[in-house]
Amino acid sequence: MGEAAKTVIFEIERRNSTDEDSYWEKFELPYVMNMNVISALMEIRRNPVNIEGKKTTPVNWDMNCLEEVCGACSMIINGKARQSCTALVDQLEQPIRLQPMKTFPVVRDLVIDRSRMFDSLKKVKAWVPIDGTHDLGDGPRMPERKRQWAYELSKCMTCGVCLEACPNVNDKSDFIGAAPLSQVRLMNAHPTGAMNRDARLNAIMGEGGLASCGNSQNCVESCPKGIPLTTSIAALNRDTTVQMFRNFFGSDRMVD
């Protein structure tokens, strides 16, 4: 001890509501060993005083699991979209700049509304329909090696980082982004899900679908779960090429 107490400086882009202009506010807080961005935000919430010593409103942010599996706490940290729960202060350059992911509507401060992603999942039919009025019995078995491979795709937590990093997801385009596309590949790989693969492929061949991808590959570089998003997109490109010819030449073969 004896040396001056270490502090951490945060610069946060804030706004009171969706339609209001944003402003920057700085905070200086005591350094705590192994602190992360969330624990720093909690400290600001406990003592909402900015760097000028003025009392301010606590910063709003979204969080849930705190272990990078829910995707709720995604934000832009020093320019890159990522989860704030796994953003360790020791590994970040200071001042640490926090911004909301503005590809999505900003609710307040760092809180964003990711509804469009969930709407996209509905649009591309990213589920396996199994319910019936009677017991349909067991589905086809999935090879173990395929299950292990599919597990990687199933790690998607709809966090929105791939949409934020994508240059083609913006207010000028209605591209749905990498995450829902990869889910189509996951659902189509499932032995029961594959029974409706043409419906999903046709869905992503619609407006704002697969074709709007420009191959910048920021999604796969940014994905916190390391999902092979660009491989999924290329694989779907192949599937939709076949589907396109089937549609065009009027094949009555719907599914394999």
Q: What is the closest distance, in whole angstroms, from the C-beta atom of residue 43 to another protein in the complex? A: 26
Helices (H), the chain: 37-46, 115-123, 144-153, 161-165, 178-189, 197-204, 218-222, 229-248
Q: What is the closest distance, in whole angstroms, from the C-beta atom of residue 244 to another protein in the complex? A: 7
Q: What is the closest distance, in whole angstroms, from the C-beta atom of residue 28 to another protein in the complex? A: 25
- Judged by CB under 8 A, the number of residues near another protein is 49
Residue 227 touches another protein, criterion: CB under 8 A? no
Inter-residue contact 145 to 213 (CB < 8 Å): no
CA–CA separation, 104 and 164 (whole Å): 8
Q: Which residues inside 72-131 make contact with another protein, applying CB under 8 A?
A: 79-80, 125, 129, 131
Q: Which residues inside 126-145 make contact with another protein, applying CB under 8 A?
A: 129, 131-133
Name the residue nearer to another protein (CB basis): 108 or 197.
197
Burial of 255 (0-12, 13-18, 19+ CB in 10 A): exposed
Q: What is the closest distance, in whole angstroms, from the C-beta atom of residue 233 to another protein in the complex? A: 8
CA–CA separation, 151 and 173 (whole Å): 31
Binding pattern to another protein, positions 163-202, x when CB under 8 A? Answer: --x-xx-x-xx----------------------x-xxx-x
Name the residue nearer to another protein (CB basis): 30 or 167.
167
Nearest to 225 by CA among 169, 176, 178, 173: 178
CA–CA separation, 96 and 196 (whole Å): 46
**Residues linked to residue 82 through DSSP beta bridges, in sequence order:** 75
Binder among 5, 217, 226, 256 for another protein (CB under 8 A):
217
CA atoms within 13 A on the CB side of 228: 11
Q: What is the closest distance, in whole angstroms, from the C-beta atom of residue 12 to another protein in the complex? A: 17
Q: What is the closest distance, in whole angstroms, from the C-beta atom of residue 178 to another protein in the complex? A: 13
Nearest to 151 by CA among 81, 75, 226: 226
Helices (H), 95-143: 115-123
Sign of CA dihedral 148, 149, 152, 158: negative
Q: What is the closest distance, in whole angstroms, from the C-beta atom of residue 58 to another protein in the complex? A: 27
Residue 13 touches another protein, criterion: CB under 8 A? no
Residue 256 touches another protein, criterion: CB under 8 A? no
State the residues that interact with another protein by CB under 8 A. Answer: 79-80, 125, 129, 131-133, 165, 167-168, 170, 172-173, 196, 198-200, 202-203, 205-212, 214-218, 221-222, 228, 230-231, 233-241, 244, 247, 254
